[in-house]
């Protein structure tokens, strides 16, 4: 029983990270109908920047905030420079551009920082927290708290500010929004900036667990895909919840289903994606896409 609870809690912690990457994917998808394959590599690159700042001697939280700012600006620039020219192109073109961005970020990170794994510090104490007979990793709980805080912040931003409202409007109905005086192009760029920021948080929270290396996000990205698919690509809340569910499933399956263990982790995500796409393509909380013919 204790093992079960412990596995669920650490599942929730990694699930929070999947959830935030999934949220970043969903934000970009909703705003621009693009699934950003480079999301994981953007997060990885931001984490390397944070590592550089930390090595330069900045205190953790200063480096944290600075990285978020850089990631935001970087995300906005990427949208302006790379995505805007192909905004109205066929899906294949956009997928290829995103894949191009993925390999560029991956190789540039490898070029600058080498492919050797680096440890990344956690801002939380290393001593586990004890509740009854159960030990929780302080980093797990801290990561979960930071993730939830970011989500709450985003919720408040989108729900209660004029800018957030404008961004939602631009995503939902670009033509009418433009007629109301919203600068739709810039709203999309802001969406990319915010997604990059959320990704950076996820990267910094996961790096102490998986270590920093240019390929660290590949596995996380596929789980984020699974989370977004499960929750529904049209539902931000669903994506986060999907992430938490996927995190818990991953941990429980890894612990209790012997023949899967940790060796077939990615295959579990693949199976999950296929099952959801076949049984309920719009996900648990998403709207079914309706096309006018």
Partner 1 sequence: MPRAWTVGLTVAALAIALVLPFTLSNFRLFQFSQVFIYAIALLGLNILTGFNGQISLGHGAFYAVGAYTTAIMIDQWSVPYGWTIPVAGVTCLVVGFLFGIPAVRLEGLYLALATFALALAVPQILKYFEHWTGGSQGIVLSKPNPPWGLPINPDQWLYFLCLALLVALFVLAANLLHGRTGRAIVAIRDNAIAAQAMGVHTALYKSLVFGVSAAYTGVAGALSAVTIAYVAPDSFDVFRSITFLVGIVIGGLASISGAIFGALFIQFVPNWAQDISKAAPWAIYGVFLIGFMYVMPRGIAGSLRLAAARWLRRRAEPVASATGSRR
Closer of 65 and 266 to partner 1 (Cβ): 266
Per the listing, tokens 């990270």 go with 17
Residues in 115-134 at the binding interface with partner 1, rule: CB under 8 A:
115
In the complex, least distance from residue 138 CB atom to partner 1, rounded to whole angstroms: 30
Residue partners of 142: CB distance under 8 A and separation at least 6? 122, 123, 124
Choices 119-127, 137-145, 148-156, 218-226; region in contact with partner 1 by CB under 8 A: 218-226
In the complex, least distance from residue 168 CB atom to partner 1, rounded to whole angstroms: 21
Residue partners of 177: CB distance under 8 A and separation at least 6? 166, 169, 170, 184, 187
Residue 189 to residues 37, 82, 92, 194, 241, Cα–Cα distance (Å): 17, 11, 21, 9, 26
Binder to partner 1 among 58, 96, 129, 134 (CB under 8 A)? 96
CB 42 within 8 A of CB 196: yes
**Per-residue tokens: 9:** 């809690």
Residues in 28-47 at the binding interface with partner 1, rule: CB under 8 A:
33-35, 37
In the complex, least distance from residue 88 CB atom to partner 1, rounded to whole angstroms: 13
CA 225-227-231 angle, to 5 degrees, is 120
Query: Interface with partner 1 by CB under 8 A: which residues?
Result: 33-35, 37, 82, 85-86, 89, 91-93, 95-97, 99-104, 106-108, 110-111, 115, 218-219, 221-222, 225-226, 229, 263-267, 269-270, 273-274, 277-278, 281, 293
């Amino acid at each position: 029983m204790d093992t079960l609870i412990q596995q669920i809690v650490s599942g929730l912690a990694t699930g929070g990270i999947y959830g935030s990457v999934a949220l970043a994917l969903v934000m970009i998808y909703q705003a621009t109908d693009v699934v950003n394959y480079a999301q994981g590599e953007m997060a990885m690159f931001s984490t390397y920047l944070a590592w550089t700042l930390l090595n330069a001697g900045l205190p953790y939280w200063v480096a944290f905030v600075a990285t978020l700012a850089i990631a935001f600006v970087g995300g906005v620039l990427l949208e302006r420079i790379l995505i805007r020219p192909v905004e109205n192109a066929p899906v294949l073109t956009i997928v290829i551009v995103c894949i191009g961005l993925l390999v560029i970020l991956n190789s540039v990170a490898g070029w600058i920082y080498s492919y050797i794994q680096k440890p990344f510090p956690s801002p939380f104490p290393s001593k586990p927290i004890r509740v009854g007979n159960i030990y929780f990793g302080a980093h797990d709980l801290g990561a979960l708290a930071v993730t939830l805080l970011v989500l709450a912040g985003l919720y408040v931003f989108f729900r209660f500010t004029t800018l957030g409202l404008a961004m939602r409007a631009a995503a939902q109905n670009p033509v009418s929004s433009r007629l109301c005086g919203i600068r739709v192009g810039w709203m999309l760029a802001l969406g990319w900036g915010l997604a990059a920021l959320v990704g950076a948080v996820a990267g910094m929270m996961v790096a102490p667990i998986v270590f920093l290396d240019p390929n660290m996000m590949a596995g996380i990205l596929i789980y984020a895909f699974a989370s977004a698919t499960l929750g529904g690509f049209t539902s931000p809340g669903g994506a986060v919840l999907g992430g938490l569910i996927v995190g818990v499933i991953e941990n429980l399956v890894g612990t209790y289903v012997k023949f899967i263990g940790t060796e077939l982790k990615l295959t579990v995500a693949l199976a999950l994606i296929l099952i959801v796409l076949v049984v309920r393509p719009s996900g648990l909380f998403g709207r079914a896409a309706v096309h006018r013919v």
